Amino acid sequence: MATKITSWEIIDGKLKKIETSLVHEGKTESYDLEEWIISNPEILGEDITVIGRQINTSSGPLDLLGIDRNGNMVIIELKRDKLPREVLAQAIDYAAAVAQWDIDKISEKIGKNLEEYLSDVFEETTLESLNINQSQRIIIVGFQIEDSLNRMIEWLSNNFGVSINAVILNYVKTQSGAEILSRTTTIPEEVEKKRVQKKYRIPMSDEPGNYTRDELKELLKNYFAQDLKTAKRIKNVLLPECLKKGIVTREALKQAFVDYKEPNAEKNKGYFVSLISNQLGLDKNDFLRQIIAYEYPNHPWEKDNYRIREEYVDLVKELLANY
């Protein structure tokens, strides 16, 4: 048995059941439902914005890609009718594909600078305060939901803390021609909101690591070997500039991206600096802070005056020369 929302219109003091559906009215997922959700993503939940539609992934095209105020990517799968249990596997597959993307890849996929977009949508939010795509959320949208899918969503959410929810919509076209969309959810929105805020608060730190020289060298080699553009920018731009100048300000680092001919540097140099600052601030990246020092001379959230700690200058030179 599937969950379904039914509506009645009050006409001349009497209830009249409204028998409409997207299919019956000739509405489609891509030309109608997607447009409605993009026009006001609040129907999916608070603090979510849609950043792309029909996004290509290694698992196929994703209906809608969103992001929330905490930096979590939101995978949104739409159905204009009943949600079958199979849609869960499809959505998880998309989430697994999106989980592999770094910020540059996301910006490339959506065709816009993610930092500029987030600052426009979420006030007082910068990439330096977020760890983008550290975790993913799944929202499945439809007009009915099978009980089996409902049970699976509740089980994953309640027992394993998976951020997954189903939004059940009801489309109504009244006798006067007015179109109304209402909704309910499998997991209460307040429960989901608290879980997301608690679970996905990313640990940040300014404390340096305390590794032996050999341990530190191995950690840095592995980090720089990753296919991450920000890691490569730290290696290819920030560290050489610090070796050359001693102390590198944010403004000098922005110019360095242009001088080193980093692609699209003139337009995105501030964005690149924010990404580096974010990587240096992640609690897990204490090995980076063991070799790179910085200050907060202007704002308590804005790193500046980068330098290589004196005792590790030779190690950095070795890494740049050999790896």
Q: Which of 240, 228, 233, 242 is nearest to 304 (CA)?
A: 242
**Looking at residue 313, what is its pLDDT?**
97
Query: Would you state the pLDDT for residue 23?
Result: 73
Q: Residue 85: what residue type? A: R
Residue 8 DSSP SS3: strand
Short-list 117, 26, 108, CA closest to 71: 117
pTM: 0.68
Alpha helices (H) along 99-212: 103-110, 114-121, 147-160, 189-199
Cα–Cα distance list, 259 to 30, 255, 262 (Å): 44, 6, 8
Q: How far is CA 18 from the centre of its chain?
A: 38
Produce one character per residue of 165-182: b if its CB has 16 or more CB atoms within 10 Å, e if not: bbbbbbbbbeeeeeeeee
Query: Which pLDDT value is given to residue 174?
Result: 85
pLDDT value of residue 1: 42
Three-class SS of residue 186?
A: coil
Burial of 245 (0-12, 13-18, 19+ CB in 10 A): middle
Residue pair 163/136 in contact (Cβ under 8 Å)? The answer is yes
Report how far apart, in Å, the C-alpha atoms of 75 and of each of 59, 170, 303 are.
12, 21, 32
pLDDT averaged per 10 residues in sequence order, the chain, 323 residues: 73 87 75 89 91 93 92 92 91 95 86 77 68 88 92 91 91 86 87 67 86 96 89 95 96 94 86 89 95 93 94 96 87
What pLDDT is attached to residue 95?
A: 95
CA–CA gap between residue 79 and residue 84 (Å, rounded): 9
DSSP letter for 136, please: E
Going by C-beta distance under 8 Å and a sequence separation of 6 or more, which residues neighbour residue 184?
3, 5, 167, 168
Residue 23 C-beta-side C-alpha neighbours within 13 Å: 6
The answer to whether the CB of 255 falls within 8 A of the CB of 269 is yes
Q: Which two tokens stand for residue 214?
A: 């050999």
| Nearest C-alpha neighbor of 139 from the set 101, 100, 192 | 192
Distance in angstroms (rounded) separating the CA atoms of residues 87 and 105: 25
- H or E, element range at 239: helix 239-245
Residues 6 or more apart in contact with residue 68 via CB below 8 angstroms: 45, 47, 48, 49, 74, 137, 196
- For the chain, domains (ranges, CATH) are 2-199 (3.40.1350.10), 213-322 (1.10.10)
CA–CA dist 251, 4 (Å, integer): 56
Question: Which among 125, 55, 129 has a CA at the least distance from the CA of 95?
Answer: 55
